[in-house]
Amino acid sequence: MPEEARLTGMHLRLSPQDAAFQQRMRAYFTTEFPRELRHAAAAGQQLTPEDIRRSQSVLNDAGLAVPAWPTSWGGQDWSPLRMHIWNSEMRAAGVLPPLPFNTSMVGPVIAAFGSEELKARFLPQTASLEIWWCQGFSEPDAGSDLASLRTTAVRDGDHYVVNGQKIWTTLAQHADWMFALVRTDPAAPRKQAGISFLLLDMRSEGVTTRPIRTLDGDVEVNEVFFDDVRVPADQLVGEENKGWDYAKFLLGNERVGVADTGLIKLWLTDLKDHARQVRRGDGTLLDDPAVAVRFAELEAELMAIELTAVRVSGSSSDGRPDPASSILKLCGSQLQQDVLELAIDVAGPMALSWEHLEAVPGWASSSVPTYLNYRKATIYGGSSEVQRSIVATSILGLKG
Amino acid sequence: MDFTPTDEQHALAQAVSGALRRHGSPASTRGEAAAPPAHDAALWRALVDIGVPGLAWPEDDGGVGAGFTDLAVAATEVGRSGLQVPLAETVVAGSLVRALAPDDLRREVLGGLTDGSLLPVPALAEPLRAWSTTTSDVTATSSDQGWTVNGTKAPVRYAPAATHLVVTATTDDQLALFVVAQSSATTEEVDLDDAPATLLAQGETAEVALREALAIGGVVLCAEAVGAMDEALRLTTDYLRTRTQFGRPLASFQALTHRAADMYARLELARSATLFAAMVADEQPLDSDALLRARVVVDSAARLVGQEAVQMHGGIGVTAEHPVGHLTARLTSISRTWGDRRSRLSDLGTRIADHPNVPILR
């Protein structure tokens, strides 16, 4: 009997094939992937945009940038378990995962709903990060109520003319292209019915990007303004006024990405090391039973979320989001914040200065700004409140 | 790693829930208090008839040889039913006997447990002593006639029905484990007065075996809690859909539906942790810390789901005639059985420096 066939039903151990897969991933990420790109990320340094592009291009050459895509466009047809192993090994080795705007968001939408021309034109460069995408969804008056967006696209011959404004556009300052939700039918009976999914070049005339400074002092998000921007009509994805369906598909995948348990595990491992560096009496802060209990609590929670991510894949399929992705987003973002809150307490009095001081390690002086920055985790990608509404209506059938 | 139940496990779940429905009588149907009910011999017999108590034990020891994933499936149905049976208790007592007893006693006890003729349960808690797996005020002494134990164990769940007690006691400043044949207790207080006892183990061996047996029994409790939470959430969402106030269904109030969503999220995390724990329990050497972590996850889910289920039912939720509060009562007990959240977390905390992180893939 082949090995695979014997391992049916509930089982704990990786099959020999999955164990070999895990070894292959580990070997690649720790020995073949460029060392300098891994170490910078592991040391908590920000990679430059050029480094990020190079990192993804290397991954793509190895066939490891877009495993979840259809196989005809570079996907690997892996099980949810293998996807999890891939992410875990990549994170554990300090390798930056591929840019989610490209690989989890716009890529799968183009692959599922785009024309053959669009696929051929965009997918290869999206996988390799030769095109850096940003997400044009939120607007000043369309946050959680995304479908009330007002940026318009009016057909004019072979073009759409786009006017309006997007906000919270992450890394728009580095982006080459934007995938945007635009209103193409203001008279549609339901506001969801008049929205289209449009791809536009950020260098187009009439596009202005303005940075927004966040609490940590960094610039990660932007406002993007459109003033009579002419977008070729062949850059519409799928059908006109069907954009809301594509957006829901995309958001389901975005949610799964947020529960990046590999990243949380990395944080928690580092944080334990930090606690070991802090002296307390004759021992270290990690010997403090109250601190140890908080670590134990977070490790148990992480275990449960990681197991849930393996148990329910959560990815969008058959054109629809899996509502289980909402649990992963809800609980994963909360855990991220809990770990970063513990990080402040581990830093203790050192957390009170954000300045770079010779004697104070960077992890300590950055603990409060990082904590403040990650308040975003329960807001973006559909706030916790939005996720609860999805669970209540789609899973529990609670409709007023 | 795969969490998918087999067809056989679906069939087992159906058989167990059928037996529970036919032979059980939840306290809520009689409007009785949510107190832990006495042993129901007829109900237990019905579960014996379909092989449930023997699932965990190897066939060589007189068991069914199925393992803990199957046992967890059965325990979940018990939790869902609002009924209580000594499944987790017999798993703890049986594990200790299996690990430590001589061959003849092991076969006798595990065989009797499987065929329903014997009911061994652990007798661990002592009055006015915080939960401990290393200390006991019960004393044991040996003489030419063998060992005897003295002291009080209370409460001992299912003591009046039990045929054997697995007892912790102190001898030579060490913890020791004994089997005591029991027939005299009429309440959940067991007074041991020069009771003849069979020594299972002393010192480190006894402590390790006890920790592992309780961790394994904890898997049964986790699975039972998942069933109880499933049912509590089902009752709650049904109620939110059908109960009308202010001229509209409760399901139209976001203040309620968002909390129901949190119940669901915590329950699903608890389910993942429990299925994982059941698979871990079938592996040697036992990773008892993984089982403790599962209990921590289930504890927090059980607290939220139990409390919110009653709250969202309003007044009817605190009445003896409605099943929801009985589930909450059981969830409250499960979390305090063989330690509590505090003791589990501080136990895990003592070993937090031993590993950089917790891998789930094996």
pLDDT tens-digit readout, A268-290: 999 999 999 999 999 999 999 99
Ranking A26-30, A251-255, A330-334 by mean pLDDT, the lowest is A251-255
Instruction: Measure CB to CB from residue B358 to each of A303, A393, A400 and give the nearest one.
Output: A303
CA distance A136 to B123: 64
Task: Name the minimum distance, in Å, from the CA of B198 to any CA of chain A.
Answer: 37
pLDDT at A6 over 60: no
| Amino acid B203: pLDDT | 97
Highest mean pLDDT among A289-298, A312-321, A323-332: A289-298
In the numeric block, which tokens belong to residue B265? 């999220």
pLDDT in tens, A174-230: 999 999 999 999 999 999 999 999 999 999 999 999 999 999 999 999 999 999 999
pLDDT in tens, A377-389: 999 989 999 999 9
Sign of CA dihedral B6, B8, B14, B17: negative
| Amino acid B4: pLDDT | 86
> Which residues from chain A sit within 8 angstroms of residue B348, using beta carbons?
292-293, 296, 299-300
> How much of chain A, in percent, has pLDDT values that exceed 90?
84
| Amino acid A314: pLDDT | 61
CB A129 within 8 A of CB A105: no
CB B44 within 8 A of CB B90: no
CB A307 within 8 A of CB A301: no
Chain-centroid distance of CA B113 in Å reads 16
| Amino acid A3: pLDDT | 40
Which residue in B328, B268, B275, B340 sits closest to B302, CA to CA? B328
> How much of chain B, in percent, has pLDDT values that exceed 70?
100
| Amino acid A70: pLDDT | 95
Q: How confident is the model at residue A315 (pLDDT cuts 50, 70, 90)?
A: low
In the numeric block, which tokens belong to residue B24? 């059980």
| Amino acid A148: pLDDT | 96
Q: Is A7 on the interface with B (CB under 8 A)?
A: yes
> How much of chain A, in percent, has pLDDT values that exceed 70?
93
pLDDT at A322 over 80: no
> Which residues from chain A sit within 8 angstroms of residue B258, using beta carbons?
385, 388-389, 392
In the numeric block, which tokens belong to residue A300? 């148990």
pLDDT at A248 over 50: yes
Ranking A47-61, A74-88, A237-251, B127-141 by mean pLDDT, the lowest is A74-88
pLDDT at A321 over 70: no
pLDDT at A318 over 70: no
Task: Answer yes or no: do B261 and A396 touch at CB < 8 A.
Answer: yes
| A384: closest chain B residue by CA | B258
pLDDT at A364 over 90: yes
- Across the range B131-147, mean pLDDT stands at 96
In the numeric block, which tokens belong to residue A161? 């003319």
| Amino acid A2: pLDDT | 39
Q: Which of A254, A299, A306, A385 is catalytic?
A: A254
pLDDT at B229 over 80: yes
pLDDT at A1 over 60: no
Q: Is A71 on the interface with B (CB under 8 A)?
A: no
Per the prediction, chain A carries an average pLDDT of: 92
| Amino acid A4: pLDDT | 42
| B279: closest chain A residue by CA | A12
Task: Answer yes or no: do A310 and B290 touch at CB < 8 A.
Answer: no
pLDDT in tens, A133-170: 999 999 999 999 999 999 999 999 999 999 999 999 99
In chain A, positions 124-163, which contact chain B (CB-CB < 8 Å)?
A: none
Which residue in B81, B102, B78, B80 sits closest to B90, CA to CA? B78
Task: Answer yes or no: do B257 and A389 touch at CB < 8 A.
Answer: yes
| Amino acid A39: pLDDT | 72
Higher pLDDT, B7 or B183: B7
Which residue in A93, A87, A82 sits closest to A40, CA to CA? A93
Q: Which residues pair with B180 in a beta bridge?
A: B165
Which residue in A289, A371, A310 sits closest to A338, CA to CA? A371
Task: Name the minimum distance, in Å, from the CA of A63 to any CA of chain B.
Answer: 23
CB A176 within 8 A of CB A128: no
pLDDT at A91 over 60: yes
Its ipTM equals 0.96
| Amino acid A13: pLDDT | 87
The CA–CA distances, whole Å, from A306 to A100, A301, A327, A331, A374 equal: 19, 9, 12, 10, 20
What are the residues whose beta carbons fall under 8 Å from the beta carbon of A58, sequence distance 6 or more? A33, A34, A37
pLDDT at A171 over 90: yes
pLDDT in tens, B64-81: 889 999 999 999 999 999
Q: Is A254 on the interface with B (CB under 8 A)?
A: no
